[in-house]
Amino acid sequence: MTFSDDDHVRPLGGTGLPVSAISLGAGTLGNPAQPDGSPAPESVDLARILLSAPYAVIDTSNNYAQGRSEAALGQAIAAYGLPAGHNIVSKTDADRETGRFDRDRVWRSFEETTARLGLETLPLLHLHDPYTITVEEAFAPGGAVQGMIELREQRLVGAIGIAAGEIQLMTRYVTSGAFDVLLTHNRYTLIDRRAEELMAEAAARGMGIFNAAPFGGGLLAGRGTRYAYREASPELLAWVDRARKLCHAWSIDLAAVALHFSLRCPLIHSTVVGVSRPERIAQLEELRLTAIPDDFWPALDALGTPPSTIDD
């Protein structure tokens, strides 16, 4: 599949990896599992649809759906091939049982990922949620960062990234100079903008930047009452209600505004949006193609600072 100029394909920072304005997140792909633990046929069907969608990158992880996300993508690739212009980006994860996250675990995680996907190499691999180790442990000899660098040096991965949430932790990884790409989530949205300084630091270093979860896990898309995995406060729900009423007055959808808040940021190369059902692709395209008037943004700012659920 090829992409038109309207799809906004651009290189991911200094990596050269082509990305479109939107990347598809496969965090829930593979759920629910079949009795034998494998992904159900409908998951493989969804993986096929993701691969044929008009977006250049699918974002998954070793640990998503306990490995079934990658397995479903691998089955779809085996059956239908990996379309031209599409890439799979994945993440290394700590051992689910022990929390171990050192050089050997990084390699093992990579091997598990490539075996599931049926791919020998990856264009980009992230160090994902390194919360079970300290930064010092990650950078020590035999640590997780050594494993990531070895994979890049051996050209098994084209680039390495850091993907997590906590800003202080992420800042230490970004400023280390070891990584090519930053993936931040839930921290640059209509509700919470604390990742802006971190993204500016990454951009100054020539890093590629993904911004994930522009809907905050669903709250800004009208699904549920949680933001960033936590129940929203009454004050936050009231702010969202005011924002929704403002959008109604402008005849636009809050979800479109939430998506375009990320799309319009010059620091961000691609916005990662999770897709759990086939119909979400068409809905996502409709949101992407929605025009948000320039005058709307000052009106939104006038609502004041939202009370985020995040405190890191």
**Spatial separation of the C-alpha atoms in residues 1 and 53, rounded to whole Å:** 9
Q: What is the mean pLDDT of the chain?
A: 96
Contact call for residues 158 and 121 (beta carbons, < 8 A): yes
Confidence bin at 7 (pLDDT 50/70/90):
low
Contact call for residues 56 and 3 (beta carbons, < 8 A): yes
Give the SS3 label for residue 250: coil
Residue 282 pLDDT: 95
Give the SS3 label for residue 195: coil
Mean pLDDT to the nearest integer, 167-182: 98
**Spatial separation of the C-alpha atoms in residues 296 and 301, rounded to whole Å:** 9
Q: Which residues contact 124 (CB under 8 A, 6 or more apart)?
A: 12, 15, 17, 87, 89, 157, 158, 159, 160, 161, 180, 181, 208
**pTM, 2 dp:** 0.95
Residue range 258-287, pLDDT digits in tens: 999 999 999 999 999 999 999 999 999 999
Q: Count the neighbouring beta carbons within 10 Å of the beta carbon of residue 97.
A: 6
* Preceding peptide of 298 cis, ω within 30°: no
Residue 311 pLDDT: 87
Confidence bin at 1 (pLDDT 50/70/90):
very low
Contact call for residues 73 and 108 (beta carbons, < 8 A): no
What is the signed CA dihedral for 139, 145, 150, 153, rounded to 10 degrees? Answer: -100
Both tokens assigned to 118? 């049926």
Mean pLDDT to the nearest integer, 164-187: 98
In this structure, the strands spanning 18-19 and 10-11 are antiparallel
Confidence bin at 2 (pLDDT 50/70/90):
very low
Both tokens assigned to 214? 């522009």
Angle at 264 between CA 262 and CA 265, to 5 degrees: 70
Residue range 11-44, pLDDT digits in tens: 999 999 999 999 999 999 999 999 999 999 999 9
Share of the chain above pLDDT 90, in %: 96
- Could you tell me which residues are beta bridge partners of residue 183? 163, 210
Both tokens assigned to 13? 């920072």
Both tokens assigned to 49? 């649809």
Which 3-state string (H, E, C) describes 226-237? EECCEECCHHHH
Q: Which residues contact 299 (CB under 8 A, 6 or more apart)?
A: 246, 250
Q: Which residues contact 280 (CB under 8 A, 6 or more apart)?
A: none
Q: What is the 8-class DSSP label of residue 221? A: G
**Spatial separation of the C-alpha atoms in residues 195 and 154, rounded to whole Å:** 32
Q: Which residues contact 218 (CB under 8 A, 6 or more apart)?
A: 224, 226
Mean pLDDT to the nearest integer, 198-224: 96
Which has the closest alpha carbon to 94: 179, 181, 163, 168? 163
The architecture in CATH of the region 5-301 reads Alpha-Beta Barrel (3.20)
* Preceding peptide of 130 cis, ω within 30°: no
